[in-house]
Structure 1
């Protein structure tokens, strides 16, 4: 992933966000553990934590610091900026109930796919994905499907610069092969992650479009032992594309 922005960077802001990210990941944590994890002095971390506490961003507990409930309001506000979120959530929930599998909706941010919504059917396998977490574009059905429907110039810029990391032995790491795969997705209307991001997990995704603009994608994931080729390309392809179409129509007439 590349960052083309230029200009001055504020070290203190980076440290503060590193502290927030660590508390998000680890939960309540003490000053010493945070300092050791981030590689800063205890005095530096303590100063940042006190400042964050003054701003009601973190809360001091007997055994350390935790994130404050301020983040609930922030998260809700960010979610509500997605104008069709209610429609997305409804279709994700319904599709999970229909298929019995894990259903997710993702959007592209910073040349990665970010999970916006998630629901689990009765047979769903649990993965490490959480709302707000990011995954690579090149190894996920959601990411590839979104990228395949980006304007050609932007798509080619991303394909030419992102790290095609080998997540499993099935991950496509050759750029020419990756480009061909994106063309296939654009032609047939859905993308597949065939154990490319997580060993043993297959996934299928369909784009949600607003005219020529791709808003995101919706996917169904399940164990390879249960997701046969026939089920993947017939039943699930039809269901995921239908769900995407419902979101598109509801968004259009909102």
Structure 2
């Protein structure tokens, strides 16, 4: 047994398999020797794990170079489909992006981190596929902060103890007391603000989605900082954002 990131015991062979899968993703494919060198493992062990992954569809061997297999896609689609908020939010997310011309995201929390579950790009020329399915620390993300602000203090402390407050940009909040003050402001105005704390030059607003006393995630609207700081743009976007959140909550109520 080994100690995992959350402090509990984990199975060593499983840790190895997940490390291989993650390395295949990061490398966009790799051979046995490359994987063994990068992970500090014996080639025989890496090869056995890869052979098992290929057998079950989680890896594919293309002329000696292994890649992540489509079985991960099948499992991922199933996982996202399980979230009621995903189905409830798709329409409002697309509508908000069309109304504002900005990027709009559905963000959910799992194990103390934020994931982009769905998005619409508005007028932005970006690849949604490069962002949907990626993780963020809650404190660097407007949707993540909106979710954090709804949690009890004990849960916030547990998340911060586990994941910390790493810096993404020079604007990232890395002090707990400063974060607590910001979360209090989020609760007062109803939405969170991200001013270049995740990506330089990108601002965002995020608001929590609630239904039956449960926080199901958050919607976030994001765009270039120069637009968000123009006149009453933030106030206008906040109004549109909160209306879209209301629509999602209604959809959840009638699903």
Aligned length: 252
Partner of 1:224: 225
Partner of 1:46: 47
Give per-residue Cα distances to partners, 1:47-73, cap 9 Å, x unaligned.
111111122221111141122221222
Cα distance between partner residues in 2 of 1:240 and 1:37: 44
CA gap of 1:50–1:104, structure 2 versus 1, over 3 A, is same
CA gap of 1:162–1:59, structure 2 versus 1, over 3 A, is closer
1:6 has 2:11 as partner: no
Moved more, 178-187 or 46-55: 46-55
Cα distance between partner residues in 2 of 1:127 and 1:241: 23
Runs (4 or more) in structure 1 with deviation over 6 Å come to none
Cα distance between partner residues in 2 of 1:92 and 1:223: 18
Cα distance between partner residues in 2 of 1:127 and 1:232: 24
SS of the aligned residue for 1:86 comes to: helix
State TM-score, norm by structure 2. Answer: 0.90
C-alpha displacement at 1:124, in angstroms?
A: 5.1
Partner of 1:151: 152
State TM-score, norm by structure 1. Answer: 0.90
C-alpha displacement at 1:17, in angstroms?
A: 0.9
SS of the aligned residue for 2:19 comes to: helix
C-alpha displacement at 1:217, in angstroms?
A: 0.4
1:233 has 2:234 as partner: yes
Partner of 1:184: 185
Give per-residue Cα distances to partners, 1:158-203, cap 9 Å, x unaligned.
3566412222221222211111110110111100011111111111
Partner of 1:99: 100
Partner of 1:139: 140
1:201 has 2:202 as partner: yes
- 8 Å contact from structure 2 (residues 142, 206) kept in 1: yes
Give per-residue Cα distances to partners, 1:187-223, cap 9 Å, x unaligned.
1110001111111111101110113321100101111
- 8 Å contact from structure 1 (residues 124, 222) kept in 2: no
Give per-residue Cα distances to partners, 1:36-95, cap 9 Å, x unaligned.
222222222111111111222211111411222212221111011102322212222222
Partner of 1:71: 72
Partner of 1:20: 21
Cα distance between partner residues in 1 of 2:112 and 2:206: 17
Is there any run of 5+ residues in structure 2 with no aligned partner, and where?
Answer: none
C-alpha displacement at 1:128, in angstroms?
A: 9.3
SS of the aligned residue for 1:170 comes to: coil
Is there any run of 5+ residues in structure 1 with no aligned partner, and where?
Answer: none
Moved more, 104-113 or 126-135: 126-135
Matches of residues 166-185 of structure 1 in structure 2 within 5 Å?
Answer: 166-185=167-186
Cα distance between partner residues in 2 of 1:224 and 1:139: 15
